[in-house]
């Protein structure tokens, strides 16, 4: 008998006018698993994440978290049920310090120790993502990797069971990439599941337990990184017909 998946998506479909951006998509994420969502540009990956996080409503299909239906719920409700995603914070919350940014994230969640322990939680979160001692820095002054770390701290403030990452590892230099990979891996060891849209193949190979590959809205492959990356249909999709 298999356990109920943490996330189970079935028949998910979303159109934009005549375009079917996500077309009858099935995918699942088990508790504590890292699943890669791959595919060429325009294949529907970000739309799929937007549907799961509630930023967009599906036209058809089901999304279940621990067996409970979440499709079509408001984003803050889905977040409070344990699904967090990273956002580009520097754009949104640039006039705050790093510490204030994380406190704001803690205030949003009801799944955390809000109250007298918020300060300690913020400090702990910053240490966890490698920003210990940088709490007083203004957000726009952070280096790119530290901005990424802050995005993650904000998402972790919700104490998610499932974290959605949209190209979180993009644009890092090789040293930072290794640090970023280690950070994502450490989340899995704490029991957090991750669904990550990613193009960095080294990260996919070293992190993902399984990958789902999309093309033109449809799932074209499912398997381990080695299996999907050697699948002729996947290779064709990436090279273009
Ligand atoms: P990916 O993340 O794989 O690059 P997207 O999910 O961003 O793909 O986009 C899938 C398709 O849906 C693309 O053809 C894109 O142009 C289209 N699309 C995405 N969002 C919108 C939108 N808000 N309105 C119209 N078309 C959209």
The residue contributing the CA closest to ligand 1 atom 22 is: 16
Residue of 111 and 151 predicted with greater confidence: 151
Greater confidence, 93 or 172?
172
Interval between CA 14 and ligand 1 midpoint (Å): 10
List the residue whose alpha carbon is closest to atom 6 of ligand 1.
44
Ligand 1 contact via 50 beta carbon (within 6 Å): no
**Domain ranges (residues) in the chain:** 1-82+160-241, 89-159
pLDDT in tens, 39-54: 999 999 999 999 999 9
Banded pLDDT at 109 (limits 50, 70, 90): low
Q: Which CATH architecture has domain 1-82+160-241?
A: 3-Layer(aba) Sandwich (3.40)
Q: Is 28 in the pocket of ligand 1 (CB under 6 A)?
A: no
CA of 42 to the centre of ligand 1 (A): 6
Q: What is the pLDDT of residue 92?
A: 58
Q: Which of 13, 17, 19, 164 to probe ligand 1 with, by most ligand atoms within 8 A of CB?
A: 19
Centroid of ligand 1 to alpha carbon of 20 (angstroms): 9
Question: How far is Cα 102 from Cα 232, in angstroms, rounded to an integer?
Answer: 44
pLDDT in tens, 136-169: 999 888 888 899 999 999 999 889 999 999 999 9
Q: What is the pLDDT of residue 215?
A: 97
Predicted-complex ipTM score:
0.98
- Cα(107) to ligand 1 centroid in Å equals 32
Query: Which residue has the least CA distance to atom 24 on ligand 1?
Result: 16
């Amino acid at each position: 008998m298999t356990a109920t998946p943490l996330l189970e998506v079935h028949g998910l479909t979303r159109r934009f006018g005549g375009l079917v951006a996500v077309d009858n998509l099935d995918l699942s994420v088990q508790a504590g698993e890292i699943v890669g969502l791959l595919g060429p540009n325009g294949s529907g990956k970000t739309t799929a994440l937007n549907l799961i996080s509630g930023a967009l409503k599906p036209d058809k299909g089901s999304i279940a978290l621990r067996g409970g239906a979440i499709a079509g719920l408001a984003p803050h409700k889905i977040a409070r049920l344990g699904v967090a995603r990273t956002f580009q914070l520097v754009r949104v919350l640039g006039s705050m310090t790093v510490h204030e940014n994380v406190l704001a994230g803690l205030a949003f969640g009801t799944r955390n120790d809000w109250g007298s322990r918020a300060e300690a939680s913020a400090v702990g979160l910053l240490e966890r993502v490698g920003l210990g001692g940088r709490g007083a820095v203004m957000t726009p002054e952070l280096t790119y990797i530290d901005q990424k770390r802050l995005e993650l701290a904000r998402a972790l403030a919700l104490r998610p069971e499932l974290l959605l990452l949209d190209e979180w590892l993009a644009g890092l230099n090789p040293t930072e990439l290794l640090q970023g990979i280690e950070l994502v891996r450490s989340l899995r060891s704490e029991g957090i599941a991750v669904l990550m849209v990613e193009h960095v193949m080294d990260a996919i190979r070293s992190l993902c337990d399984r990958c789902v590959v999309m093309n033109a809205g449809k799932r074209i492959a499912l398997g381990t990184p080695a299996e999907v990356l050697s699948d002729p249909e996947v290779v064709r999709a990436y090279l273009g017909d």
